[in-house]
Chains A and B, each alone.
Chain A
Amino acid sequence: MFALKTIVLKWLFLTISPCDAAEPWQLGSQDAATPIMQGIIDLHHDIFFFLILILVFVLWILVRALWHFHYKENAIPQRIVHGTTIEILRTIFPSLISMFIAIPSFALLYSMDEVVVDPAITIKAIGHQWYRTYEYSDYNSSDEQSLTFDSYMIPEEDLELGQSRLLEVDNRVVVPAKTHLRIIVTSADVPHSWAVPSSGVKCDAVPGRLNQISILVQREGVYYGQCSEICGTNHAFTPIVVEAVPRKDYGSRVSNQLIPQTGEA
């Protein structure tokens, strides 16, 4: 009974709804859905600590100097030009702080580039003016048959209650959660950029170039992002929506998408 009551209370008051899309007046990052984003958020926290330390210190010194050495309080200025101890200290401490910031930063930077595990799926994200095309071609037996679909933003007039303006699309990119993915980003006309903040991904889509990003989406959910490179009139109206589904549902979801799309693919 007690256990039941705890569960009910927890579900009522402590259900966590992750932030996977931009919120109005949002200050912090969206919630992490990949290890990379988690690393970025942790790095941000690390650096922010030193930032506050330095900020408080500098403000304190500044305010103190302005307060105590106001010309009415202290008419005779001192003319100190040397001070070996303080010079040594003010060189060593900033170097140490820089080092504490640099170490986690470089660790994250190089680990982001490392591809340790072979990806299980390759998805191609091709930018167009002003929509995206996604291709899942791992299972073709010929050059023609890949699962390809276009992803257009849902215009404001067609939105249903609860959907986000300028963020929803008609066909989402369905990916299996907890699976290493390789996403190949390119463009068919002008430069675009494929960005999904909660996955810590922002990759330029350059025509004539295939950019690879490796992600592992750790939880199921729907993640929103927007085009991040000016690409013309409707640059603000080409969002990206990634839907991570449980791995065992991935097969059926993708084949469901294949059936209605085969006419258009």
Chain B
Amino acid sequence: MAEAVSAKTPSLSEQYHLENEVKQVKEDPSDENTSEETPDDITLKTAPADFRFPTTNQTRHCFTRYIEYHRCVAAKGDDAPECDKFAKFYRSLCPSEWVDRWNEQRENGTFPGPL
């Protein structure tokens, strides 16, 4: 176990103590966030870290994104592409039960937020 300790991730060849394979194993040079558009790779994207909510508690973040989406839709219409971004954000962050409950509240007119 102690051999695996190092400041950076050991390459596959280091981890398995391979000598011959060093030249053949190619370290993936891209950094973790930019994904390559190879045929097998899908772009990994999600709601970015919002500086308005820097702490661990992201409840307000989810709520704010939901409200932003609905305000955007109220201002720009149902199918505006600008609002899609907000929709993705709130879907990524909010549990689906919360979203369902809020949708129901909106329909009943009891949604407790500034829509």
Contacts and interface: CB of A to CB of B under 8 A. Distances in A.
Nearest to A248: B40
A16 B57 contact: no
B99 interface: yes
A152 B23 CA distance: 43
A248 B100 contact: no
Interface string B1-25: 1011100010000011111100000
Interface in A105-149: 113, 115, 117-122, 124, 126, 135, 137-138, 140, 143-144, 146, 148
Nearest to A10: B17
Nearest to A45: B5
A192 to B, nearest CB: 14
A32 B56 CA distance: 22
B41 A247 contact: yes
A143 B99 contact: yes
B57 A211 contact: yes
A137 B100 contact: no
Instruction: From A7, A11, A121, A212, name the one whose CB has the most chain B CB atoms within 10 angstroms.
Output: A212
B52 interface: no
B62 interface: yes
B92 interface: yes
Interface in A1-35: 3-4, 6-7, 10-11, 14-16, 18-19, 31-32
Contact of A211 (B3, B35, B56): B56
Given A138-B92, A210-B62, A248-B41, A16 B15 contact: yes
B1 A19 contact: yes
A6 B62 contact: no
Contacts of B59: 208-210
B47 A31 contact: no
Interface size class of B (residues with CB under 8 A): 35 or more
Main secondary structure of the interface of B (DSSP, over half): loop
Interface in B19-35: 19-20, 28, 32-33, 35
Contacts of B100: 143
Contacts of A15: 16
A180 B95 contact: no
Contacts of A210: 57-59, 61-62, 93-95
B79 interface: no
Interface residues of A, number: 56
B9 A31 contact: no
B1 A14 contact: no
B75 interface: no
Contacts of B41: 247-248, 251
A216 interface: yes
Interface of A: 3-4, 6-7, 10-11, 14-16, 18-19, 31-32, 38, 41, 113, 115, 117-122, 124, 126, 135, 137-138, 140, 143-144, 146, 148, 176, 178-180, 182, 184, 186, 188, 203, 208-213, 216, 218-219, 247-248, 250-252
Interface of B: 1, 3-5, 9, 15-20, 28, 32-33, 35, 38, 40-42, 44-49, 54-59, 61-62, 88, 91-97, 99-100, 103
13 contacts: A3-B19, A7-B17, A10-B17, A16-B1, A113-B55, A143-B100, A146-B96, A182-B46, A186-B95, A208-B59, A216-B32, A219-B15, A248-B41
